[in-house]
């Protein structure tokens, strides 16, 4: 979108600066968003995309610069201030209360509500909004009863109910099936037709081309390019973003599997509420094989990885690694059997925020030489090891001694990846390893997974990105409601069929692998 000299943008951010310890997250950033415009924010991990949007939505306060909304200088000190200006943000990790209903979540925290809200009127409004935007959801359903796609609808409906005219979407399709992504595109299109505007943060080039009118590319906190979407293409955007050509498919050799490394036999497990999470799951992964697990989040993938790595007990069935029974062994015993684990929750499970990058990188190897001698840790050796890992995996950190919590989400993920891949023995369990990574880092991760496979290791790859599975995996198994509902070779697999299986719909033409 091009602006005339007399046109006033809906949002204008001028000279925005924001720093954290050792990091300049935003450096003199100018951003303009017009009425009825969809702007895509692209950039490598740590480029400052989320920081900029957190300033707009009131979660952060800029160190310098000004924000104008509808041509008026805005003093946004909190999310409530942003909401009063018609700005709403849908975070990648949804801000919903599982034990409350859809209607209760929609009005939770709204200013100006009576002490006893008219919930019948609220439910009616939610139904009307759902019909208007084709996002139907039961207002009386509890959040825990909804799929991830339905929960995202609730988040968007919550903002629309609060009359948001400017919607910020952080990685909006990261947890959606291909069909749900297409539905979201239609919703954004409807909002645009009504004069509402949106900014979305993404690393997926197909999303940029499908959703946006204009693209802004950030690098190290600075704006390095602005382009009309219709005048660019994914290769051009990737080159601008990372400063080099990026391949969109991973080259790998022929699939030649060896001995069975991991075997699950009719495994059952429960979630935190005591409800079935895994229902008679059986699968095998061989050396030299990447088995991809496809599925929308919440269908048992996390529990599957935790049962394998000793973080969750199996209530029935058996698990073996390299022909040794490891059912319900401790995490340390599983680690010593040669298993590495990239968990789905990098903050709660994968890293310790108050520890340094160096110590986080050393957490799998601190019991042995060269970084320890007996019970004594060797700080100089730990730093040497960390510097090598930081360089090899391109972790953006002021120093090895910087605390992990001060890194961007993508660089925290790189820290975990470096530690787990370096320490992998025979099996790598990778759960959403490229989630939150920029396109250059995603390319590197996928190459590393293939390298592990080519080195004779077994890889269990959990991903919601069908393109990633088709590019990297040798075999794809689809999970729905805690069950394996389809298994197929990745070569020649049909995207539409995988998407239908992920959504719980029966597909035809593929035989399950025994």
pLDDT the model gives residue 372: 83
pLDDT tens for each residue of 381-396: 999 999 999 998 888 8
pLDDT the model gives residue 40: 94
Q: With H, G, I as helix, E, B as strand and everything else as coil, classify residue 56.
A: helix
HEC secondary structure over 189-233: HHHHHCCCEEEEECCCHHHHHHHCCEEEEEECCEEEEEEEHHHCC
Q: Write the CB contacts of 444 (distance below 8 Å, at least 6 apart in sequence).
A: 393, 394
How far is residue 52 CA from its own chain's centroid?
18
Q: 293: which strand partners?
A: 462, 477
For 435, half-sphere exposure in the C-beta direction (CA atoms, 13 angstrom radius) is 26
Q: With H, G, I as helix, E, B as strand and everything else as coil, classify residue 168.
A: strand
Q: Is there a shared CATH topology between the 11-242 domain and the 257-338+426-514 domain?
A: yes
pLDDT the model gives residue 490: 93
Q: Write the CB contacts of 98 (distance below 8 Å, at least 6 apart in sequence).
A: 142, 143, 144
Q: With H, G, I as helix, E, B as strand and everything else as coil, classify residue 121.
A: helix
For residue 482, give Cα distances in angstroms to 278, 314, 507. Answer: 4, 13, 17
Q: With H, G, I as helix, E, B as strand and everything else as coil, classify residue 58.
A: coil
Q: What angle do CA 7, 11, 16 make, to 5 degrees?
A: 120
For residue 188, give Cα distances in angstroms to 196, 230, 277, 384. Answer: 9, 17, 33, 48
Q: Name which of 202, 141, 157 is nearest 176 in CA terms.
A: 202
Q: With H, G, I as helix, E, B as strand and everything else as coil, classify residue 60.
A: coil
pLDDT the model gives residue 509: 41
Q: With H, G, I as helix, E, B as strand and everything else as coil, classify residue 111.
A: coil
Pairwise CA distance, residues 6 & 60, whole Å: 31
Pairwise CA distance, residues 11 & 171, whole Å: 21
pLDDT the model gives residue 5: 42
pLDDT per residue, tens digit, the chain (514 aa), is: 454 444 789 999 999 999 987 778 899 999 999 999 999 998 877 788 889 999 999 999 999 999 999 999 999 999 999 999 999 998 877 889 989 999 999 999 888 788 788 999 999 999 999 998 888 889 999 998 887 778 888 999 999 999 999 999 887 776 666 667 778 888 888 888 898 999 988 877 777 888 899 999 998 899 999 999 999 988 888 888 877 666 666 778 888 999 999 999 999 999 887 889 999 999 999 999 999 999 877 789 989 999 999 999 999 999 999 999 999 999 999 999 999 999 887 777 889 989 999 999 998 888 777 888 888 888 899 999 999 999 988 888 889 999 998 887 778 888 998 999 888 999 999 998 887 677 777 888 888 899 999 999 999 999 888 888 999 999 999 999 999 999 999 988 988 888 889 888 865 444 334 3
Q: Which two tokens stand for residue 328?
A: 């319900």
As its CATH architecture, domain 11-242 has: 3-Layer(aba) Sandwich (3.40)
pLDDT the model gives residue 94: 80
Q: With H, G, I as helix, E, B as strand and everything else as coil, classify residue 100.
A: coil
Q: DSSP of 317-373, one letter per residue?
A: EEEEETTEE-TT--HHHHHHTTEEEE-S-IIIII--TTSBHHHHHTTTTTTSTTSEE
pLDDT the model gives residue 278: 96
pLDDT tens for each residue of 214-242: 999 998 899 999 999 999 988 888 888 87
Domain ranges of the chain: 11-242, 257-338+426-514, 350-423
**In contact, 289 and 306? CB cutoff 8 Å:** no
| CATH ID of 257-338+426-514, from 3.40.50.2000, 3.50.50.60, 3.40.50.300, 3.90.1150.10 | 3.40.50.300
């Amino acid at each position: 979108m091009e602006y005339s000299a007399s046109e006033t943008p809906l949002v204008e951010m001028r000279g925005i600066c924001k720093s954290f310890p050792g990091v300049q997250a935003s450096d003199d950033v100018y951003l303009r968003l017009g009425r009825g415009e969809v702007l895509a924010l692209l950039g490598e991990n740590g480029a400052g995309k989320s920081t900029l949007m957190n300033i707009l939505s009131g979660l952060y306060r800029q160190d310098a610069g000004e924000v104008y909304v509808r041509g008026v200088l805005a003093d946004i000190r909190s999310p409530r201030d942003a909401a009063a200006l018609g700005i709403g943000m849908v975070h990648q990790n949804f801000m919903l209360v599982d034990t409350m209903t859809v209607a209760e979540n929609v009005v939770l925290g709204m200013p100006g509500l009576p002490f006893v809200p008219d919930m019948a009127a609220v439910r009616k409004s939610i139904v009307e909004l759902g019909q208007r935007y084709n996002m139907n959801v039961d207002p009386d359903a509890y959040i825990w009863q909804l799929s991830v796609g339905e929960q995202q609808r609730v988040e968007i409906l919550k903002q629309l109910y609060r009359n948001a005219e400017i919607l910020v979407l952080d990685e909006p399709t990261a947890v959606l099936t291909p069909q749900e992504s297409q539905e979201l595109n239609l919703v954004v299109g409807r909002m645009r037709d009504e004069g509402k505007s949106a900014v979305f943060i993404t690393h997926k080039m197909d999303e940029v081309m499908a959703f946006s009118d204009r693209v802004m590319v950030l690098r190290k906190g600075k704006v390095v390019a602005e382009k009309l979407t219709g005048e660019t293409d994914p290769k051009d955007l990737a080159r601008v973003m990372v400063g080099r050509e990026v391949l969109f498919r991973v080259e790998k050799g022929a699939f030649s599997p060896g001995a069975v490394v991991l075997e699950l036999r009719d495994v059952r497990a429960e979630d935190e509420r005591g409800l079935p999470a895994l229902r008679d799951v059986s699968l095998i992964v061989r050396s030299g094989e990447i088995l991809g697990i496809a599925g929308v989040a919440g269908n048992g993938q996390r529990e599957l990885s935790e049962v394998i790595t000793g973080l969750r007990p199996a209530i029935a069935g058996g698990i073996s690694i390299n022909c040794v029974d490891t059912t319900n062994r401790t995490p340390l015993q599983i680690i010593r059997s040669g298993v590495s684990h990239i968990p789905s929750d990098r903050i709660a499970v994968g890293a310790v925020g108050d520890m340094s990058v160096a110590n986080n990188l050393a957490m799998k190897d601190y019991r042995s030489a060269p970084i320890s001698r007996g019970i004594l840790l060797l700080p100089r050796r730990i730093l040497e090891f960390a510097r090598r890992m930081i360089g090899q995996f391109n972790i953006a950190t002021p120093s090895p001694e910087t605390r992990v919590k001060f890194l961007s989400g993508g660089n925290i993920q790189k820290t975990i990846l470096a530690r787990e891949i370096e320490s992998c023995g025979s099996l790598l369990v990778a759960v959403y390893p490229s989630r939150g990574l920029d396109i250059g880092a995603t390319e590197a991760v996928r190459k590393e997974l293939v390298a592990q496979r080519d080195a004779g290791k077994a890889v269990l790859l959990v991903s919601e990105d069908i393109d990633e599975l088709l590019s990297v995996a040798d075999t794809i198994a689809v999970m729905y409601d805690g069950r394996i509902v389809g298994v197929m070779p990745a070569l020649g697999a049909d995207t539409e069929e995988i998407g239908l299986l992920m959504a719980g719909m029966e597909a035809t033409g593929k035989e399950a692998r025994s």
